[in-house]
Structure 1
Amino acid sequence: MRARVTRPIVVTGTDTGIGKTVFAAGLAGLLGGHYWKPVQAGTDPEGDSETVARLSGLPRDRILSEAYRLKLAASPHLAAREEGVSIETGRLAIPEVKGPLVIEGAGGALVPLDEALLFADVFAIWGAPVLVCARTGLGTINHSLLTVRALRALDVDVIGLAFIGDPHPENARIVPKLAGVPSLGRLPWLDPLTPGALAEAMRTHIDIVPLARAL
């Protein structure tokens, strides 16, 4: 279903490589919105914007250009330093678009952009609601709760959790309960990963009604 979501939604994760970009692509497609990755670190073989363009089903003009596009697949602070780039918060202002905007952070919430600034600090500056993507497997309880608490310590509004991976009923039960955050469900691993398969999985497994209620 399509929920009436008009505010930007920030998608962050408990770690890197957990499927956050795939989820962000599916969410942007499900909402019929726009997608923005403000800081891309790593462009070989492609950046996350290209991945989302392939998988979301959105027109290419709904994929907004990055504020910073760095070649090295590393923490943004290191990738920027290697290229002699200074990441400035002024260039990270949220773009104005009509309708929903899905913003994807880099790696986990506490990834540094320079020697003093974390991505979570930028989330706090934005004042936008945040959705946390989490693995389903071992270790996710600790990582998920740490992420939620770190964001709340900065007065960031955490509006939902989305699990990614194989079923784990106990983790799916206990993490939202302890975090005090609603779960949107679980996006399974998809093989093959195609735009059609992702769209169907999002419609089948992800409930975005909690997002609409929170916004």
Structure 2
Amino acid sequence: MTPIFITGIGTGVGKTVASAVVTESLQADYWKPIQAGFDDGTDALAVKDLISNSETTIHPEVYKLALPASPHIAARHEGVEINITNIVDRRRSTVDRRLVIEGAGGIMVPVNDTQFVIDVIEQLQAKVILVSRNYLGSINHSLLTASICKQRGINVIGWIFNDQYLDYEQEIVNWSGYPKIGSIPFAETLDKTFVKTQADAIRLSLQQLL
């Protein structure tokens, strides 16, 4: 089954929340192969705490790095080199289930000295959901991300937008040519109830695009 790779227009745009929502919506498995920084807990543990269904399996990281930095820097700090082949090999053990994969940072974040998150996506042959958080400057960041995806022939199924700032989500959709899957509103408290509500809201459009 083709995996779904969730990447963003940058760091801190809400990929983990979006991953939890998509995982809950599809009752899929979840996997973050590269975790850089875990003083406040890992993204895998965050997703585990946010989903309600009993079908999801949270798969362990391939690279779990202590330094909260770009993966290639965090790996170098520990004397490790991230090898995409190791990630692809681990993926083979999950082929029987729908799998949501959360990336590290944005699509052009380096994972080693020569490869980037987009190279991980290509080698995993994944479908992609782009996460954009609404803020001043996100139009530029969103369209740059969409542009590199088109240049590389990445199979993008659509956008998930986070937060609220003005009203230009549809413009990003129109300019990028990628459809909108849904919008996740700002929430003071993130919990299972919130994630399930958002999962229910996007389920139909997500299934149609898959």
CA shift digits 1:70-126 (9 cap, x unpaired): 011100000000000111111111242433210000010000001110010111122
CA distance in 2, matches of 1:60, 1:214: 22
The 1:210/1:172 distance shift into structure 2, 3 A limit, reads: same
Matched, 1:116 2:109: no
What do you get for the CA RMSD once the two structures are aligned? 1.7
Matched, 1:183 2:180: yes
CA distance in 2, matches of 1:32, 1:61: 6
Indicate the SS of the match to 2:68.
coil
Q: Which runs of 5+ in 1 are unaligned?
A: 1-5
CA shift digits 1:2-42 (9 cap, x unpaired): xxxx5311000001111110110111011111000010001
Q: Which runs of 5+ in 2 are unaligned?
A: none
Indicate the SS of the match to 1:148.
helix
The 1:151/1:184 distance shift into structure 2, 3 A limit, reads: same
- Pairing 1:9-158 to 2, within 5 Å after superposition: 9-59=4-54, 62-93=57-88, 94-95=91-92, 96-158=94-156
- Tell me the CA shift for residue 168 of structure 1: 3.2
Indicate the SS of the match to 1:162.
strand
TM-score, normalising length: structure 1: 0.90
> In structure 2, which of residues 189, 194, 198 is the aligned counterpart of residue 197 of structure 1?
194
- Tell me the CA shift for residue 211 of structure 1: 3.6
TM-score, normalising length: structure 2: 0.92
CA distance in 2, matches of 1:83, 1:167: 39
Regions of 4+ moved over 3 Å: 58-61, 208-211
Which residue in 1 is equivalent to 2:170?
Answer: 173
CA distance in 1, matches of 2:84, 2:191: 35
- Tell me the CA shift for residue 202 of structure 1: 2.9
What is the percent sequence identity of the aligned residues? 36
* Matched residues, number: 207
